[in-house]
Amino acid sequence: MTRTYPSPAEMDAAVARLCRGELVGFPTETVYGLAGAADSPEAVARIYALKGRPVAHPLIVHLARSSAITDCAREVPASAFALAEAFWPGPLTLVLPRHPRILTAVTGGQDTVALRVPAHPVAAALLEAFGRPVAAPSANRYGRISPTTAAHVRDEFGADLPLVLDGGPCEVGLESTIVGWLGGQWTVLRPGLIGIGALQAVVGAVAASAGAGAPRVSGSDAAHYAPRTLTRLTVAAELALDSDRVAVLARRPRPAGFAGLAWLEAPADAVGYGRRLYADLRRLDALGAREIRVETAPDGVEWDAIRDRLRRAAAR
């Protein structure tokens, strides 16, 4: 994977913007984020305004290192440290009881806070240089597909976001796994690359999904991560039927009879598929197709996060 690094001058400019309460686009290993100082009410308000995100939908607080967890959460079970030890820096977000110093604007008014130490070297360098926690949702307008390249972020925000640090294409390509410490047990709130089995191997019991009364997760709105073009999940045998002005994403080559606009052949392995998924959906969404058809994903647990995102992309 080609990795790009911003110049030292760009890194300095990014830190200066964060210090002024302004926003910066930055790469993480999962997707690009829209960063603002987590302890600045102005910065947090700007994040919600720029994304067009409802203020009740909480943001993830990004930390330079796991030791900062106790500055942000008022109760940290030993198992949270075990998860941090096993998976940070990396694509895992922990939801814990909010420390009073965390702005309620960051947590959407909830009494819990989402924390993550990202692994991308540019994210790590930015957090280290800024020296304070950074609140960052994915750098897309509310409800749209998350960005996995700096160009995607520029497409989303244009001149409204003057500085986007380019760290190359994201290695994971799907948002972090979110696991919450709720009512004395761990619950997966959003599936990601780190699967439930890997979490269970570290902390024992982990519940698969949130029940009633669980905190809001904006990614759990039905129509989320969605292309503008009508998107449908389709079994392989029906991908090429009546294909006029249709755009397809499938784990197989384009068949002879396909008469549509585009056929993208996706990797057959879940990790490779996830890395490319959002870029592929953006390409297909730009074609002015009548319909995007995506081949349904396989059943295995390694496809959990992908099935989740495809379901949302196709929700209306």
Residue for token digits 């009364």?
213
**147 interacts with ligand TXA by CB under 6 A:** no
Strand partners of residue 71 = none
The C-alpha torsion from 67 through 90 and 188 to 266, rounded to 10°, is: 170
User: Do the Cβ atoms of 62 and 116 come closer than 8 Å?
Assistant: yes
E strand or H helix at 248, and its extent?
strand 246-250
Contacts (Cβ under 8 Å, ≥6 apart) of 160: 50
Exactly one of 50, 113, 289, 313 binds ligand TXA (CB under 6 A); that residue is: 113
Among the listed ranges 71-79, 134-142, 199-207, 258-266, the one in contact with Mg ion (CB under 5 A) is 134-142
Among the listed ranges 9-17, 138-146, 245-253, 257-265, the one in contact with Mg ion (CB under 5 A) is 138-146
**38 interacts with ligand TXA by CB under 6 A:** no
Residue 201's Cβ-side half-sphere holds a number of Cα atoms within 13 Å equal to: 8
Position 126, amino acid: L
Write the interaction track for ligand TXA spanning residues 259-278; mark x where CB under 6 A is met and - where it is not: --------------------
**30 interacts with Mg ion by CB under 5 A:** no
**60 interacts with ligand TXA by CB under 6 A:** yes
Residue closer to ligand TXA, measured from CB, 221 or 302: 221
Within residues 77-96, the interface with ligand TXA by CB under 6 A covers 93, 95
E strand or H helix at 145, and its extent?
none
Residue 241's Cβ-side half-sphere holds a number of Cα atoms within 13 Å equal to: 8
Pick from 127, 80, 137, 131: nearest CA to 105: 137
Write the interaction track for Mg ion spanning residues 222-261; mark x where CB under 5 A is met and - where it is not: ----------------------------------------
Within residues 196-225, the interface with ligand TXA by CB under 6 A covers 215-219
Exactly one of 40, 66, 107, 231 binds ligand TXA (CB under 6 A); that residue is: 107
Neighbours of 99 (CB within 10 A): 15
**Rg of the chain's alpha carbons, rounded to an integer?**
19
**28 interacts with ligand TXA by CB under 6 A:** yes
**136 interacts with ligand TXA by CB under 6 A:** yes
Residue closer to ligand TXA, measured from CB, 138 or 234: 138
Query: E strands along 84-212, which residues?
Result: 92-97, 112-116, 134-135, 177-182, 185-190, 206-207
**173 interacts with ligand TXA by CB under 6 A:** no
Neighbours of 143 (CB within 10 A): 15
Would you state the structure tokens that stand for residue 95, as one six-digit string? 């939801």
Coil, strand or helix: which one is 163?
A: coil
Among the listed ranges 28-36, 81-89, 157-165, 260-268, the one in contact with ligand TXA (CB under 6 A) is 28-36
Residue closer to ligand TXA, measured from CB, 137 or 260: 137
The minimum distance between CB 31 and Mg ion, in angstroms, equals: 7
**137 interacts with ligand TXA by CB under 6 A:** yes
Coil, strand or helix: which one is 130?
A: helix
Residue closer to ligand TXA, measured from CB, 106 or 203: 106
- Which residues of this protein are in contact with Mg ion, per CB under 5 A? 138
Q: Give residues in contact with ligand TXA (CB under 6 A).
A: 28, 30-31, 33, 57-60, 93, 95, 107, 110, 112-114, 116, 118, 136-138, 175-176, 178, 180, 189-190, 215-219
